[in-house]
Chain A
Amino acid sequence: MKIFWDTIADYNQTTWVAQLFIILIGMLLTGMLYRSNKTWIKTAMKGYLAFTYLWIAFVYYLYFGEARSYHLVMTIFWSLMALVWIWDAAKEYTTFERDRQLDWLAWILLVMPFIYPAVSLARGMEFPQITSPLMPCSVTIFTIGLLLLFSKKINLFIVLCLTHWSIIGVAKTYSYNIPEDFLLAVSAVPALYIFFRQYFRHTLKQPSKPDAKYIRALLILLFTIMGISLTGTFVWGVVNHAFTL
Chain B
Amino acid sequence: MRRDESLQSIAKFIAEYAAHMMGCGVHTSRVVRSAKRIGDAYETDVNISVFQRNIILTLKENNSDKIHSEVVDIPALPISFEHNAELSALSWNIYDNNLSLADAWKLYNKIVNAPSIDSLFVLILVGFANASFCKLFGGDWFSMTIVFSATITGMFLKQQMQRKHFNHYIIFIVCAFIASLCASTAYLFDTTSEIALATSVLYLVPGVPLINGVIDIVEGYTLTGFARLVNALMLVLCIAIGLSLTLVLVKDNLIIN
Interface residues of A (CB under 8 A from B): 69-70, 72-74, 76-77, 80, 156-157, 160-161, 163-164, 167-168, 171-172, 175, 196, 200, 203-204, 206-210, 212, 214-215, 218-219, 222
Pick from A73, A156, A157, A200: contact of B249, CB below 8 A.
Answer: A73
Once A70-B253, A206-B115, A209-B116 are accepted as A-B contacts, the answer to whether A218 and B189 lie under 8 Å apart by CB is no
- Contact with A73, one of B117, B178, B181 (Cβ below 8 angstroms): B181
Report how many A-B pairs have Cβ atoms within 8 Å.
88
Q: Is B153 a contact of A160 with CB atoms below 8 Å?
A: yes
Contacts of B152 in A (CB 8 A): 160
Partner of A160, one of B119, B156, B184, B188: B156
Given contacts A70-B253, A207-B115, A210-B118, contact A171 B157 (CB under 8 A): no
Q: Which of B118, B146, B156, B181 contacts A209 (CB 8 A)?
A: B118
Q: Is the CB of A167 within 8 A of B146?
A: yes
CA distance A76 to B250 in the complex (A): 11
* Candidates A70, A164, A212; contact of B153 at CB < 8 Å: A164
A-B CB proximity, top 3 nearest: A208-B118, A160-B153, A164-B149
Bound: A77/B252 CA distance, A: 17
CA distance A77 to B249 in the complex (A): 11
Q: For residue B145, which residue of chain A has the nearest CB? A: A167
Question: Which one of A168, A212, A218 lies within 8 Å of B188 (CB-CB)?
Answer: A168
Give residues 123-155 of B contacting A (CB, 8 Å).
Answer: 124, 142, 145-146, 149-150, 152-153
Q: Which residues of A contact B116 (CB under 8 A)?
A: 209
- How far does the alpha carbon of A168 sit from the alpha carbon of B252 in the complex, in Å? 20
List 10 A-B residue pairs with CB atoms under 8 Å apart, sorted by A's residue number.
A70-B187, A73-B249, A160-B149, A164-B146, A167-B149, A175-B189, A200-B120, A203-B118, A209-B115, A219-B124
Q: In the complex, what residue of chain B is closest to A72 when comparing beta carbons? A: B249
Interchain CB contact under 8 A, B250 and A171:
no
A218 touches B115 (CB 8 A): no
CA–CA, A172 and B184, complex, Å: 15
The B interface, classified by DSSP as helix, strand, loop or mixed, is: helix
Bound form: Cα–Cα A200–B157 in Å: 15
By the criterion CB–CB under 8 Å, are B118 and A215 in contact?
yes
B126 CB, nearest partner CB in chain A, Å: 13
- Other than the known A208-B121, A215-B118, what 16 A-B pairs have Cβ atoms closer than 8 Å? A70-B187, A70-B188, A72-B249, A73-B249, A157-B156, A164-B149, A164-B153, A167-B149, A175-B190, A204-B118, A208-B115, A209-B114, A210-B117, A210-B118, A214-B121, A218-B124
Note all chain B residues with C-beta closer than 8 A to A210. 117-118, 121
CA gap between A4 and B124 in the complex, in Å: 34
Residue from B120, B184, B187, B249 in contact with A219 in the complex, judged by beta carbons closer than 8 Å = B120
Q: Does the CB pair B121–A218 fall under 8 Å?
A: yes
Nearest to B118 among chain A residues (CB) is A208
The verdict on B182 contacting chain A, using a C-beta distance below 8 Å, is yes
Contacts of B114 in A (CB 8 A): 209
Q: For the complex, what is the distance from the CA of A233 to the CA of B124, rounded to whole Å?
A: 23
Residues of B near A161 (CB, < 8 A) are 153, 182
Q: Is B185 an interface residue (CB 8 A)?
A: yes
- A157, B150: Cβ atoms closer than 8 Å: no
What residue in chain B is nearest A211 (Cβ atoms)?
A: B118
Highest count of chain B CB atoms <10 Å: which of A72, A73, A163: A73
Q: How far is the CA of A156 from the CA of B163 in the complex (A)?
A: 15
| B190: A residues at CB distance < 8 A | 175
Interface string of B240-257 (1 = CB under 8 A from A): 000000100110110000
> Which chain B residue shows the least CB distance to A172?
B188
Task: For B253, list chain A residues within 8 Å (CB).
Answer: 69-70
CB distance from A1 to the nearest CB of B (A): 12
